[in-house]
């Protein structure tokens, strides 16, 4: 009887590992609590690997998609080809922008996030960017502007794994 129960227990353990591949792997383990979107909305997409068809299967559209107060945009790398007719390559980044204001000035991001400064030319404002090596970035407004106050969340970027930025440098 003890041997039968040991065999049954071993089978349950093996079955749980075998089925583990079916569950979405969280490729972004450093997501902040309250901002864990990968498993819910984005899995199994992988920037740098997934194509436009995979994006359509997961998000239903390859253009901007709205989900529960967030706008999700995707960007793609360009494949080589004729100069005037390049084609889409793999998914480059998934960008989530809040539809409302999310103040984060009081949030202290863990040290696993490197901090750098960046700007976007279309807004002409600066941002504090916090990045981890898994490709996750939190962009916070670096100054008050008509688009947000210093410390407000501007966007979250899910990208490919990357080397960390030097601390407190320009991205």
Mean pLDDT, consecutive 10-residue stretches, the chain (171 aa), reads 36 32 69 95 95 93 89 88 69 96 92 91 87 96 91 96 64 63
Q: Are 45 and 58 in contact (CB under 8 A)?
A: yes
Q: Which residue in 139, 131, 133, 135 sits closest to 156, CA to CA? A: 139
Sort residue 112 into left (φ over 0), alpha (ψ -120 to 50) or beta. Answer: alpha
Evaluate whether residue 14 is within a structural domain. Answer: no
What is the predicted pLDDT for the residue at 2?
A: 41
What is the predicted pLDDT for the residue at 166?
A: 58
Evaluate whether residue 17 is within a structural domain. Answer: no
d(CA 136, CA 158): 5
Evaluate whether residue 114 is within a structural domain. Answer: yes
Evaluate whether residue 1 is within a structural domain. Answer: no
What separation in angstroms does the CA of 37 have from each of 30, 40, 64, 130?
11, 5, 16, 17
Chain centroid, CA 14 distance in Å: 31
What is the predicted pLDDT for the residue at 136?
A: 97
Q: Which residues, in sequence order, are bridge partners of residue 93?
A: 75
Global confidence as pTM: 0.79
Evaluate whether residue 22 is within a structural domain. Answer: no
Q: Which residues, in sequence order, are bridge partners of residue 140?
A: 128, 153
Segments forming the whole domain that contains residue 127? 27-170
Evaluate whether residue 99 is within a structural domain. Answer: yes
Total number of domains constituting the chain: 1
Q: Which residue in 109, 112, 145, 101 sits closest to 127, CA to CA? A: 145
Q: Are 71 and 99 in contact (CB under 8 A)?
A: yes
Evaluate whether residue 162 is within a structural domain. Answer: yes
Evaluate whether residue 3 is within a structural domain. Answer: no
d(CA 93, CA 136): 10
């Amino acid at each position: 009887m003890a041997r039968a129960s040991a065999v049954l227990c071993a089978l349950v353990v093996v079955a749980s590992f075998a089925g583990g591949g079916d569950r979405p792997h969280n490729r972004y383990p450093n997501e902040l609590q309250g901002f864990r979107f990968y498993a819910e909305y984005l899995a199994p997409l992988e920037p740098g690997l997934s194509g436009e068809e995979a994006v359509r299967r997961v998000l239903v559209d390859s253009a901007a998609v709205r989900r529960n107060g967030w706008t999700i945009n995707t960007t793609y790398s360009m494949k080589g080809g004729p100069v005037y007719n390049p084609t889409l390559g793999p998914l480059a980044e998934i960008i989530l922008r809040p539809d409302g204001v999310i103040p984060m000035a009081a949030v202290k991001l863990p040290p696993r996030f490197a901090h750098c400064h960046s700007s976007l030319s279309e807004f002409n404002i600066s941002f504090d960017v916090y990045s981890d090596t898994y490709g996750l970035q939190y962009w916070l407004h670096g100054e008050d502007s008509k688009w947000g106050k210093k410390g407000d969340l501007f966007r979250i970027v899910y990208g490919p794994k990357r080397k960390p930025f030097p601390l407190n440098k320009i991205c």
